Amino acid sequence: MLIAFSVAPLGAGESVTDAVADAVRIVRESGLPNRTDSMFTTIEGEWDECMDVVRRATEAVGRHGHRVSLVLKADIRPGHTGEITGKVERVEARLAAQ
């Protein structure tokens, strides 16, 4: 499965950089394939391992404020791996062919 998520503390002031860095550190240390962009972090793995990473990242962000906002989108496709890059590669190939 792929999970794209965004997590941020509420009531922590203007910048959430430190909180987001704590969350991304947990993602990267998990060993799961991952990608972070300006809006979301995407991870790929099995249900339980992905949800554990999301939980731990959310808890880390929670230490920066009194409340946490979590946005999550999942693509659950049993039997498929490598989709964190595969989906993008297929679109890029299609664009290049046109």
Strand order in the sheet with 41-44: 34-36, 41-44, 2-10, 67-75
Which pLDDT tens digit goes with each residue over 27-78? 999 999 999 999 999 999 999 999 999 999 999 999 998 899 999 999 999 9
Structural domains for the chain? 2-97 (3.30.70.930)
Q: Indicate the pTM of the whole model.
A: 0.90
CB 75 within 8 A of CB 1: yes
Which runs of consecutive H residues, i.e. helices, occur in 1-98? 17-29, 47-62, 83-97
Burial class (CB in 10 A: 0-12, 13-18, 19+), 95: exposed
Identity of residue 47: W
Q: Out of 2-6, 56-60, 84-88, pick the least confident.
A: 84-88
